[in-house]
């Protein structure tokens, strides 16, 4: 029976069948309950904890997801590396639906989301110049290419507040800045992972061309869900392969993110 995990996956409900020997763990955190019970099990020799980002019934819209509770729950189970598959829109015509983007940069265009664990007890400033784990990114790119995905190594993910999609003007502005993809959930997940000294890697599946790139009436919610559903089995396989390929010992800078910083409380 697995009651702890070394790797975390935050994704959609289609990832439940990812794990062998799975069991559910109901956790509480100082930030409330996570999106749902955490499922812990194995992929090959690796112990993995899975959280459905929006809840198994998709009850949490992007701006209401309990991001702090989700990352805290994973760390409390022993997780130190996190893979985060998600659906995104493309801001570049040449990066069409079906591509996997493994971003190396992030732009926050959200508002009002709690985005730190350190909002009292003294200032804690963590480096966030490079938001994603370099080791996790390398594994994700190699795994995606080996599986035959059209893979984009690097690029900027701009995260919008949601739940609405972008206007055409916003989308063109994002593209004009040289950004690559747009989503609604990659922030504050990434910075909260950094504040807990976790490795965090985004696996972004392009489901559509964003409003400023696409002609016609623009993307709809149903179209995004339908495209992701058609690809979820393949995405699940990719995540499993990436999990098994992640290093067993971390040599990246992520684990040292809090070195030399006086924390106002003890981490799990």
Q: Which residues contact 29 (CB under 8 A, 6 or more apart)?
A: 68, 69, 72, 73, 76
Q: Are 193 and 72 in contact (CB under 8 A)?
A: no
Nearest CA-CA partner of 55 in 34, 41, 75: 34
Nearest CA-CA partner of 70 in 18, 111, 30: 30
Cα–Cα distance for residue pair 179/101, rounded to 1 Å: 12
Tokens of 268: 């799990």
**What CA–CA distances, in Å, run from 224 to 83, 147, 235?**
21, 22, 15
Task: From the candidates 57, 104, 208, 259, give the one annotated as an active-site residue.
Answer: 208
Cα–Cα distance for residue pair 71/13, rounded to 1 Å: 17
- Other CB atoms closer than 10 Å to residue 191's CB: what's the count? 21
210 part of the active site? yes
Task: From the candidates 36, 104, 108, 210, give the one annotated as an active-site residue.
Answer: 210
222 part of the active site? no
List, by residue number, the catalytic residues.
208, 210
């Amino acid at each position: 029976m697995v009651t702890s995990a070394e790797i975390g996956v935050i994704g959609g409900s289609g990832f439940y069948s990812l794990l062998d020997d799975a069991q559910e763990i109901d956790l509480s955190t100082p930030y409330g309950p996570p999106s749902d019970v955490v499922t812990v099990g194995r992929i090959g020799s690796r112990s993995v904890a899975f959280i459905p980002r929006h809840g198994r019934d998709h009850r949490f819209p992007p701006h209401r997801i309990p991001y702090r509770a989700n990352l805290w729950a994973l760390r409390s189970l022993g997780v130190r590396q996190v893979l985060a598959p998600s659906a995104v829109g493309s801001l570049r015509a040449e990066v069409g639906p079906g591509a996997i983007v493994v971003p190396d940069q992030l732009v926050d265009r959200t508002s009002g989301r709690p985005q730190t664990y350190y909002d009292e007890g003294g200032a804690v400033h963590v480096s966030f110049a490079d938001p994603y784990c370099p080791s996790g990114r390398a594994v994700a790119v190699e795994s995606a290419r080996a599986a035959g995905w059209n893979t984009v190594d690097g690029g900027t993910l701009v995260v919008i507040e949601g739940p609405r999609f972008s206007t055409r003007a916003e989308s063109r502005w994002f593209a004009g800045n040289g950004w690559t993809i747009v989503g609604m959930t990659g922030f504050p997940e990434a910075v909260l992972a950094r504040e807990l000294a976790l490795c965090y890697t985004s696996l972004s599946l392009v489901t559509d061309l964003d409003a400023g790139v696409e002609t016609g009436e623009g993307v709809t919610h149903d179209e995004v869900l339908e495209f992701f559903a058609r690809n979820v089995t393949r995405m699940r396989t990719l995540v499993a392969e990436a999990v098994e390929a992640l290093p067993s010992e971390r040599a990246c800078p992520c684990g040292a993110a809090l070195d030399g910083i006086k924390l106002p409380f003890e981490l799990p």
